[in-house]
Structure 1
Amino acid sequence: MNLLAPRNNWYPLTWSRNITRKLARHRILGMDLVVYRSEGGEVIALDDACPHRLAPLSMGKLRGDAIECGYHGMTFGPDGRCIRIPGQPMIPPNARVPSYPLREKMGLIWIWPGDPALADPSLIYNLPQFGEAGWHAAEGDALRIETNYLNLADNLCDPAHVSFVHLSTLGNAASEEIPVEHSFGDRGVLVWRWIRNAPPIPLFGKYGNFSGHVDRWHYYDYIAPCIAVIDFGSADAGAIADPEDRGRGLRIFACHFITPVDDNVCIDHWLHVRNFALDDADVDQRLHADFRIAFNEDKEILERIEEVVQARPNAKTIRLAIDAAPQRMRRIVERIVAGEAEARASA
């Protein structure tokens, strides 16, 4: 597998709500893991292969906080060390499976697949509005997309496609000719544009009660390798003079936390944080229905593109001005991965 993804990074693995005392199998970066909760509620992830015959540990049983292999009963503690071999009192020192650092944040379980000594929890992404007064967070879905995770990241660095792919939810024709602006950092890309004095998009037409034209914005904030947060909203035309005052309008953060499953599959864990209808569970469900339509539109076009790429391996594509941010996004990931490889070589 040649998946281009840093190892020393926090990745979303699954929703916290999904992990219980039942053994569950999850795949990330081409690695199969068995994940479960301890009796005290701690989340544990081990390599999902017994070192004896490679039987998946997820087919075994929990014995307290340890896993008993379902083939020959070898038992492994939460740290991956074997603590029992039936009929054999001597346990070899290499009878162990890898374990991985985990943390829970923003409703998700985050995993560090690289060097455990570098797993600093403060590096997990934090959206300041999540959990703050005046904002409401609503967990969404885990959308499986049959494409490489960087292709989804391309999409999430690209406001231009919204005018054509999401006309029933997130876009309209008013934005077609508005150029995008961008800025670049060491680990991220920010792409944005404002559409002034234009009809509201369908989504904000439902919830904004706007009587006329609006000013609306899209800020696509990508942080390598797997975080994309879209800050978008609307206000009455002329109501917001300073772009930093976006909180005065209807504002949503659509958060996309991407799990690279392997070379050809990724999972988009999405949620939203908004500054209106804070205690309205019906709005949660209505917004999620809209988002499901929009994100499935992305899924459809990305998977169709993947089919064409597989059918035309030697096809040449052209570059447009709107490709500046996605290209920089990929260069950032390549640089991080190359830095890790250099560090391993020097070590």
Structure 2
Amino acid sequence: MTYITEAWYPVVWADRVGRELTRHTVLDEPIVIYRLENGDIAALRDVCPHRRAPLSLGKLKGDTIECGYHGMTFDCSGKCVLIPGQEIIPRTAMVRAFPLQVKYGMVWLYMGEPKNADPAKIFHIEQYGKEGWHAVQGDTLRIECNYLSLCDNLLDPAHVTFVHASTLGTPAGAAVPVNNDYGESTITVWRWIRNGPVIPLFEKFGKLQGLVDRWHYYTYSMPCNFSIDMGSCVAGAIPDMEKRSEGVQMFTCHMLTPVDERTVLQHWFHVRNFRTDEHDIDAALSAGLDMAYREDKVVLERIQIEEERDPHFKNITLGIDAAPMKMRRMVAATIESEAAGRP
């Protein structure tokens, strides 16, 4: 499996990083993450360059890591500062340090060349922190499937009616076609369902009843991040589709960490424009969203098993597959371009 490397990837919620050494895997790369004494966070390759013992098995001493095998000690820049019983430290006694940023309460690492680590290229959602919107940190779901399979799912409004009947869907959307808009590094799949029943989550938390117009805009950003704009209004109340913020609107954001060929972490949060001062509903709304994502998890993990059982099976292609297929071509082309640019 190969991945896009010249990109920022989410790893772990920052409030879960403390003064202990924790091991993470991103793009098949082992990484140790810990908090410094001044409150900052450091990330190093979790491999001692001597015998390849994981540094996460060692000890944190101040802001340095002492390898648990032979005591080689590395600072947060990856430089070896001590070798017990040896005064001369080889110049090659280094561990890779990853550029790191915290955004949306999430630790992001740049997995490519450090000189290319532009924080402005981290996934962005305009409504986060904006007046009139309330952001709620969600959780992380581990799914035993290839990350591109989850990307397919998050570019597919058509499955909502059938997988999420108790949370995000209603039968009214089954026959409504989707529209696709393509950018250089983004894809948006969207549709409006007019004059239909309200979805269960918006009936409960958005206080909507009767017939509504509702929308889904699924926007993918390379390498594997998504913002899903979902909302509803009283039927006929918003004829201009660009004025969706006048209705009950919520963005659910999904930031994916490809762990390895068959494992992905789905980090998520939501930003809403309704009941923004009623923080007592945050946990219940997040629980409803978590239930929906676990419904996807069941399907995706079974698909992974079937793909591994019969890797030569030929899937048929439907019209709803246009955006996922485009996404996979974009990823493949970027991986190929990166490979061509390497010495």
Q: TM-score, with normalisation over the residues of structure 2?
A: 0.98
CA distance in 1, matches of 2:306, 2:53: 37
Query: CA RMSD for the aligned pairs?
Result: 0.9
The one-character-per-residue Cα deviations of 1:81-128 (angstroms, maximum 9, x if unpaired) are 110001100111111111110000011010001100100111111211
Distance in 1 of aligned mates of 2:322 and 2:38: 48
For residues 173-192 of structure 1, the aligned pairs below 5 Å read: 173-192=171-190
- What does residue 195 of structure 2 align with? 197
Of 244, 247, 251, 2:245 maps to: 247
Mapped pair 1:56 → 2:34: no
Q: Distance between the aligned counterparts of 1:194 and 1:66, measured in 2?
A: 54
Instruction: Summarize deviations over 1:326-346 as a string: whole Å, max 9, x none.
Output: 0000011011111101111xx
Q: How many residues align?
A: 343
Partner of 1:321: 319
The amino acid across from 1:149 in the alignment is: Y
Q: Aligned AA for 2:268?
A: W
What letter corresponds to residue 251 of structure 2 in structure 1? Answer: F
Q: Secondary structure at the match of 2:139?
A: strand
Counterpart mapping for 1:216-231 below 5 A: 216-231=214-229
Separation in structure 1 between the aligned mates of residue 281 and residue 214 of structure 2, nearest angstrom? 20
Give 1:10's aligned amino acid: W
Contact 1:55 1:71 in 2 (8 A): yes
Q: State the shift of 1:65 in Å.
A: 1.0
User: How far 1:210 sits from its partner (Å)?
Assistant: 2.6
CA–CA separation in structure 1 for the residues paired with 2:114 and 2:202: 44
Contact 2:206 2:274 in 1 (8 A): no
Q: Which string of whole-angstrom CA distances, capped at 9 and with x for unpartnered residues, describes residues 216-236 of structure 1?
A: 000000011111110000000
Find the aligned partners of 2:318 and 2:143 in 1 and give their Cα distance: 25
Q: Deviations over 1:254-302 (max 9, x none)?
A: 0000000011100000100001111222211111111111000000000
Q: Distance in 1 between matches of 2:42 and 2:178?
A: 43
Query: What CA distance in whole angstroms lies between the structure 2 residues aligned with 1:207 and 1:65?
Result: 45
Q: Distance in 1 between matches of 2:206 and 2:228?
A: 18
Alignment partner for residue 96 of structure 1, among 94, 97, 121?
A: 94
2 CA distance for matches of 1:124 and 1:208? 30
Identity of aligned residues (%): 51
Q: Distance in 2 between matches of 1:209 and 1:95?
A: 60
> Given the alignment, which residue of 125, 139, 142 partners 1:141?
139
Contact kept, 8 Å, 2:198 with 2:209, in 1: the verdict is: no
2:137 & 2:240 partners in 1: Cα distance? 30
Aligned to 2:80: 82
Counterpart of 1:106, as a letter, is: Y
Structure 2 counterpart of 1:55, one-letter code = A
CA offsets 1:2-58 (integer angstroms, 9 cap, x no match): 23x210100001111111111111110001111011111121111111111111111
Helix, strand or coil at the partner of 1:334? helix
CA distance in 1, matches of 2:333, 2:209: 48
Alignment of 1:117-132 (within 5 A): 117-132=115-130
Other-structure match for 2:331: 333
Residue 72 (structure 1) aligned to one of 64, 70, 73? 70
What residue in structure 1 maps to residue 280 of structure 2?
Answer: 282
TM, length-normalised to structure 1 = 0.97
CA distance in 2, matches of 1:203, 1:320: 29
- 2:260 match: 262
Q: Is the 8 A contact 1:188 1:332 kept in 2?
A: no
Unaligned runs of 5+ in 2: none
Aligned-partner Cα distance in 1 for 2:18–2:207: 42
Q: Secondary structure in 2 aligned to 1:277?
A: coil
Q: Is the 8 A contact 2:27 2:259 kept in 1?
A: yes
Q: Distance in 1 between matches of 2:48 and 2:254?
A: 33
Which one-letter code corresponds to 1:331 in the other structure?
Answer: R
Distance in 1, matches of 2:135 and 2:200, equals 21
Q: Kindly indicate whether the alpha-carbon contact (under 8 Å) linking 2:23 and 2:56 is maintained by their aligned counterparts in 1.
A: yes
SS of residue paired to 1:210: coil
What is the alpha-carbon distance in structure 1 between the residues aligned to residue 142 and residue 107 of structure 2? 17
The residue identity in structure 2 corresponding to 1:64 is G
- Work out the CA distance in 1 between the residues paired with 2:207 and 2:285: 15
Structure 1's unaligned 5+ residue stretches are none
SS at match of 2:193: strand
